[in-house]
Amino acid sequence: MQNGLPKTVCLNVNIPDVREDQIKGIKLCRQNMGYWREEYDKRTDPHGRNYYWLTGFYHNSEPGAMDTDEWALSQNYVAVVPLHIDLTCYETLKKLDNWKFESDIRST
């Protein structure tokens, strides 16, 4: 790889919601650990049909971490995180290889 990204990597870029003159710069960082608490808001479209709008909030599991995208955004930095496209946890896959699964799977 010369002046480029490996084939299995993409960049996740987030820009803080502030005026351009308030952006302090760009931070290369890791993805924050946390989860979304999802909620659904029932709405009606102009034709009278119901639909559901996904809403919710992000729960930051590392509020004191200063090397994450969440921290960078909160400090008015553009956050750049290199991500693997393959989300497989290979360490766990090796451990699961020792599990015994029932070989006779029957449809119900």
Tens digit of each residue's pLDDT (9 = 90 or more) over 18-68: 999 999 999 999 999 999 899 999 999 999 999 999 999 999 999 999 999
- Cα–Cα distances (Å) from 77 to 31, 33, 62, 96, in that order, read 14, 18, 18, 40
Higher pLDDT, 14 or 86: 14
* pLDDT tens per residue across span 4-23: 898 889 999 999 999 999 99
Given a contact cutoff of 8 angstroms between Cβ atoms, the answer to whether 24 and 76 are in contact is yes
Cβ burial, residue 68 (10 Å; 0-12/13-18/19+): buried
pLDDT band, residue 104 (cuts 50/70/90): low
| Total-model pTM | 0.70
